[in-house]
Structure 1
Amino acid sequence: MFTSAPQSLCILRLSAIGDVCNTIATVQAIQKQWPETQITWITGQLEAKLLDAVSGIEVIVFDKKAGIKGYRELWKKLKGRRFDALLHMQYAIRASIATLGIKAKYRIGFDKARSQDLQTLFTNIQVPSPKSLHVADGLMAFAKTIGVKDDTLSWSLTSSSKDRDWAIDKIQPQQRNLVLVPGASKAYKNWTATGYVEVIEHARQRGWNVILAGSPAQVEVDLANAIQSKLSEPCLSLVGQSSLMEMLALIDLADAVIAPDTGPTHMASAVQTPVIGLYAHHNPYRVGPYNYLDYVVSAYEDAILVETGKKSDQLDWRTRAKDPDAMQRIQSSSVINMFDKLVEDFYPQ
Structure 2
Amino acid sequence: MNSKSATLKICVLRLSAIGDVCNALAVIQQLQQHYPNSDITWICGKAEAQLLAAVSDIKLVIYNKKDGLKGMLAIKRELKNQQFDVLLHMQAALRASLLSCCIRAKRRIGFDKSRAKDGQWLFTNEKIAAANSAHVLDGFLQFLLPLGVDIQTPSWQVPLSQADQQTAKQLLGSSGKQIVICPAASKAYKNWTLQGYAGIAQYALKQGYHVSLIGSPASNEVALSEQINQACQGKLNNLCGKTSLSQLWALIAQADLLISPDTGPAHMAVAVNTPVLGLYAHHNPQRTGPYHYRNYVVSVWQQLIEQEQGKPAEQLSWRSRVKDPKAMQHITLDAVIEMFELIKKEQLL
Q: TM-score range by the shorter chain?
A: over 0.9
How do 1:124-163 residues align onto structure 2 when only pairs under 5 Å count? 124-163=125-164
Deviations 1:85-122 (A, max 9, x none): 10000010000000101111100000111110000000
How do 1:24-103 residues align onto structure 2 when only pairs under 5 Å count? 24-103=25-104
Q: State the distance in 1 between where 2:297 and 2:101 align.
A: 39
Tell me if 1:279 matches 2:280.
yes
CA contact (8 A) 1:179 1:256 kept: yes
Q: State the distance in 2 between where 1:136 and 1:150 align.
A: 11
How far did 1:164 drift?
1.0
Runs of 4+ in 1 over 4 A off after TM superposition: none
CA contact (8 A) 1:185 1:219 kept: no
What SS does the corresponding residue of 1:53 show, helix, strand or coil?
coil
What SS does the corresponding residue of 1:169 show, helix, strand or coil?
helix
Q: State the distance in 1 between where 2:169 and 2:218 align.
A: 24
CA contact (8 A) 1:172 1:209 kept: no
Which residue identity does 2:172 align to in structure 1?
Answer: I
TM-score normalised by structure 1 residue count: 0.97
Number of the residue aligned with 1:294: 295
Number of the residue aligned with 1:211: 212
How far did 1:231 drift?
1.1
Tell me if 1:236 matches 2:237.
yes
| Root-mean-square deviation (Å) | 1.2
Number of the residue aligned with 2:348: 347
Which residue identity does 1:318 align to in structure 2?
Answer: R
How far did 1:174 drift?
3.6
Tell me if 1:225 matches 2:232.
no
Number of the residue aligned with 1:177: 178
How far did 1:311 drift?
2.6
CA contact (8 A) 1:184 1:262 kept: yes
How far did 1:255 drift?
0.7
Number of the residue aligned with 1:106: 107
Q: State the distance in 1 between where 2:143 and 2:347 align.
A: 33
CA contact (8 A) 1:143 1:151 kept: no
Q: Which moved more, 1:261-270 or 1:167-176?
A: 167-176
Unaligned runs of 5+ in 2: none
What SS does the corresponding residue of 1:39 show, helix, strand or coil?
strand
Number of the residue aligned with 2:332: 331
How far did 1:53 drift?
2.5
What SS does the corresponding residue of 2:117 show, helix, strand or coil?
coil
Q: State the distance in 2 between where 1:114 and 1:284 align.
A: 17
Unaligned runs of 5+ in 1: none
TM-score normalised by structure 2 residue count: 0.97
Which residue identity does 1:227 align to in structure 2?
Answer: I
What SS does the corresponding residue of 1:84 show, helix, strand or coil?
strand
Q: State the distance in 1 between where 2:11 and 2:139 align.
A: 18
